[in-house]
């Protein structure tokens, strides 16, 4: 009996020990699993927290390509510069005779033009609409800003157009004035109009080549009367920098006959380039401009635009005939735009290769239809026909509507 009790006790003890061992193993296994799971969760939380912290501390880098912008409308691609002109009885946007900043030579109605149908056309992209001009909204958008146009007389026309469009929404017309008391002149180098009620300015710098006009080197041929320094930007360029919107153009003065007949030749690195073609010189000048923008303009603050070459409608064997039609052309004529688009192609290529964001306003095709919108003989000098400049109101208003749509 005692022996049986003894062995039973031994067996119970062994069973208890085994149970304790198995229990211990189970606890440790569970504990190890818990350690592994908790460690993984800790690592994941650390990674997520670190990512969120870094994302908040360092903003994401956005790379903006330099190309003509395609805006989206519904599910279709909207290319702003591929479209047609449509009749719209809500146009024109202003009366040039009531705008003191519209140049007399561009006010075709005041200079005797009798048909006014050319004032009623609106640019319509194929798959969307350009944002309709709302003067109240735009005035508020420009509050406290500085808008600067740089270029030739076509740039001055766009500058005049913008001021007249904006003045239509200002109740106190006397609050809009030229800052130096200047009257608009074709040769004045600077004009600045202040909208004092909204604390912004719209300025124009005359720089027909964007690069500097230089002196004639010693021992230059007698035919050389002046030079264009293709590698030096205009000496007023330092005044363009501190702006919010900066719009450039150049092209109409890059004309072989206009330049070489006046004895104007190109210069690079202080050396004359007598055999340099106009297109090669234009490309060199544009690259000088591009380098200046990349190094001098804060494109995080300043929105930079370059408007391409505008269509003109000179005709005849010598290109001196100006026939202004009553309506726009149904189809753009290649002979009017082919030569002009070479300049525009250079602009697009140079801008596309820039390291900072610049918007190309490719207005060349839309202007090629508007043989009806040129000044013709309805200027302040009717003896000299004009198939390069545009009547105001007119085509430059469409450029500004597109410009405002980007804003």
Q: 338-366 burial by CB neighbour count: b if 16+ within 10 A, else e?
A: eebbbbbebbbebbeebebbbbbbbbbbb
CB count, 10 Å around CB of 166?
27
- pLDDT at residue 126 in the model: 92
Residue 194 neighbours by CB under 8 Å, 6+ apart: 176, 177, 178, 179, 200, 201
Instruction: Please give the pLDDT value at position 185.
Output: 85
Q: Return d(Cα 105, Cα 122) in angstroms, integer.
A: 23
Per-residue pLDDT of the chain (407 residues; tens, 9 = 90+): 434 444 444 444 444 433 433 444 443 444 444 444 455 455 554 444 444 343 333 333 333 334 444 343 334 578 899 999 999 999 999 999 999 999 999 999 999 999 999 999 999 999 889 988 999 999 999 999 999 999 999 999 999 999 999 999 999 999 999 999 998 888 899 999 999 999 999 999 999 999 999 889 888 999 999 999 999 999 999 999 999 999 999 999 998 888 988 899 999 999 999 999 999 999 999 999 999 999 999 999 999 999 998 878 888 777 789 999 999 988 765 544 444 578 999 999 999 999 999 999 999 989 999 999 999 999 989 999 999 999 999 999 999 999 999 98
Instruction: Tell me what pLDDT residue 340 has.
Output: 56
Q: Which helix (H) or strand (E) holds 203?
A: strand 200-206
Question: Which amino acids are annotated catalytic?
Answer: 153, 386, 389
Q: What is the DSSP letter of 381?
A: -
Q: Would you say how long the chain is, in residues?
A: 407
CA distance 130 to 354: 27
Residue of 111, 141, 128, 166 whose CA lies nearest to 397: 166
Give the start-end residues of each E strand in 260-405: 264-268, 271-273, 303-307, 314-315, 321-322, 359-361, 374-376, 386-390
**Which H helix or E strand runs over 72?**
strand 70-73
Q: How far is CA 69 from CA 5, 331, 336, 348, 361, in A?
A: 98, 24, 25, 12, 9
Q: What is the pLDDT of residue 14?
A: 44
Give me 35's structure tokens: 């350690």
- Which pLDDT score, from 0 to 100, does residue 364 have? 92
Q: CA–CA separation, 17 vs 11, rounded Å?
A: 10
- Alpha-carbon distance 93 to 132, whole Å? 11
What is the torsional sign of CA 219, 221, 224, 228?
negative
pLDDT at 39: 53
- Report the SS3 class of residue 139: helix
Q: Which of 133, 132, 128, 125 is nearest to 162 (CA)?
A: 133
Q: Where would I find the beta strands (DSSP E) of 215-269? A: 226-233, 245-248, 264-268
The pLDDT of residue 370 is: 94
| Run of H or E residues at 192 | strand 190-195
């Amino acid at each position: 009996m005692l022996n049986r009790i003894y062995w039973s006790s031994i067996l119970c003890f062994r069973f208890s020990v085994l149970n304790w061992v198995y229990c211990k193993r189970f606890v440790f296994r569970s504990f190890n699993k818990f350690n592994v799971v908790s460690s993984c969760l800790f690592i994941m939380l650390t990674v997520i927290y670190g990512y969120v912290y870094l994302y908040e501390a360092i903003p994401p880098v956005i790379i903006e390509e330099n190309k003509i912008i395609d805006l989206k409308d519904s599910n279709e691609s909207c290319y702003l510069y591929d479209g047609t002109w449509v009749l719209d009885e809500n146009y024109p946007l202003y009366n040039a005779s009531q705008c003191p900043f519209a140049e007399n030579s561009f006010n075709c109605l005041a200079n005797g033009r009798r048909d006014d149908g050319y004032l009623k056309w609106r640019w319509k992209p194929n798959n969307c609409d350009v944002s309709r001009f709302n003067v109240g909204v735009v005035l508020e958008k420009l509050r406290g800003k500085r808008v600067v146009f740089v270029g030739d007389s076509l740039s001055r026309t766009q500058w005049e157009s913008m001021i007249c469009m904006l003045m239509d929404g200002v109740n106190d017309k006397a609050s809009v004035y030229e800052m130096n008391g200047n009257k608009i002149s074709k040769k004045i180098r600077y004009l600045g109009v202040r909208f004092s009620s909204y604390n912004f300015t719209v300025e124009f710098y005359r720089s027909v080549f964007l690069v500097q006009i230089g002196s004639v080197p010693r021992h230059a041929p007698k035919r050389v009367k002046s030079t264009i320094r293709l590698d030096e930007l205009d000496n007023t360029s330092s005044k363009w920098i501190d702006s919010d919107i900066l719009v450039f153009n150049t092209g109409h003065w890059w004309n072989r006959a206009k330049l070489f007949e006046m004895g104007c030749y190109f210069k690079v690195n202080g050396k004359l380039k007598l055999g340099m073609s106009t297109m090669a010189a234009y490309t060199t000048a544009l690259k000088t401009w591009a380098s200046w923008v990349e190094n001098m303009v804060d494109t995080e603050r300043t929105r930079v635009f370059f408007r391409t070459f505008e269509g003109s409608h000179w005709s005849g064997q010598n290109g001196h005939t100006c026939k202004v039609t009553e309506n726009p052309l149904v189809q753009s004529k290649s002979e009017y735009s082919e030569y002009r688009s070479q300049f525009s192609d250079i602009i697009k290529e140079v801008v596309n290769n820039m390291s900072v964001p610049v918007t190309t306003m490719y207005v060349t095709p839309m202007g090629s239809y508007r043989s009806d919108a040129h000044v013709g003989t309805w200027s302040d000098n009717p003896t000299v026909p004009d198939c390069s400049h545009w009547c105001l109101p007119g085509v430059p208003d469409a450029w500004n509507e597109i410009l405002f749509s980007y804003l």
